[in-house]
Amino acid sequence: MPAYQAVLFDFFGTLTRSVRRGPQHAEIARALGCDPQAVLNVLDRTFAVRARGQFGSAEATLRWVTEQAGGSPRPAQLQAAVPARVDALKADTELRADAEPVLRELKRRGLRTAVISDCTHELPAFLPSLPIAPLLDEKVFSVEVGRCKPDPEIYLEACWRLRVAPEDCLYVGDGGSHELTGAAAVGMTPVRLAAPDLTDHLVFDRDDDFAGLGVPSLSALLELLDRVPALN
């Protein structure tokens, strides 16, 4: 019997390379009549509440952000900006070269897989188009469940959907949102992905005090799983 029944992943910075905002974000801000830096400031300071879906739909959330940045967007501007934001975040996202092969190998080994992401409305809109989507048994998005990491409920939601106990799960993340200590608190085994490209990753509430297991790449996760009996 394998030591674990499921492997759960963070998305941004874990299944993807480091994330930085591209030029499309500034273009969207200008199209909404706002100073781009003012919009970015609002996005940064309100990430957690937006990721919990506090302001409703994608359009309602973008209206709120724009107004906080001093804009007064017209309905047509918002309607055009919502899919533009999906495109912008997708453009910021580059899957790690080993993400798909590692997920395929986990499935071959009979392990369940899931992603747990603190995210706004855009990720649920574009993740289904990515090649890793069919390799994920479940996708738990904070904006849909109203909880962000490290809230225990977001981890337990993934376990409930996968029909596995927390102690039977390995959780892999770069450490944003205090996700690693949160995973440990519910009984999962957390593993930090410490890939070199993450030094300039856009991250909120980094889990700097975590001192547990770590891997330099997703591929190295398979080696860790091979020697799990020696770790327990």
CATH classification of the domain holding 159: 3.40.50.1000
Residue/partner pairs of 121-125 with CB below 8 Å, 24 or more apart: 121/53, 121/57, 121/58, 121/61, 122/58, 122/85, 122/86, 122/88, 122/89, 122/90, 123/11, 123/89, 125/58, 125/86
Residues 57 and 156 in one domain: no
Q: Are residues 67 and 133 in the same domain?
A: no
Percent of the chain whose predicted confidence (pLDDT) is above 90: 84
How confident is residue 1, by pLDDT bands cut at 50, 70 and 90? very low
Same domain, 112 and 198: yes
Is residue 108 a contact partner of residue 3, using CB atoms and an 8 Å limit?
no
pTM of the model: 0.93
Q: What residue ranges in the chain does DSSP mark as E strands?
A: 6-9, 112-117, 138-141, 169-173, 189-193, 213-215
Helix (H, G, I), strand (E, B) or coil at 114: strand
Residue finishing a domain among 33, 65, 91: 91
Q: Is 1 part of any domain?
A: no
Per-residue pLDDT at 211: 81
C-alpha span between 147 and 141 (Å, rounded): 9
Q: Does 84 share its domain with 199?
A: no
Over residues 93-114, the mean pLDDT reads 96
Tell me what the mean pLDDT of segment 54-78 comes to. 95
Q: 224 and 111, same structural domain?
A: yes
Query: Do 59 and 110 reside in the same domain of the chain?
Result: no
Q: Is the pLDDT of residue 142 over 70?
A: yes
Which three-class secondary structure state does DSSP give residue 64?
helix
d(C-alpha 103, C-alpha 106), whole Å? 5
Please compute the mean of the pLDDT values over residues 200-220 and round it to a whole number: 83
What is the CA angle 181-46-75, rounded to 5?
A: 140
pLDDT higher than threshold 80 for residue 231:
no
Rounded Cα gap, residues 226 and 198, in angstroms: 25
Final residue of a domain: which of 73, 91, 109? 91
Confidence of residue 2 (pLDDT cuts 50, 70, 90): low
Domain interval for residue 191: 6-19+94-231
Q: How far apart are CA 68 and CA 161, in angstroms?
A: 37
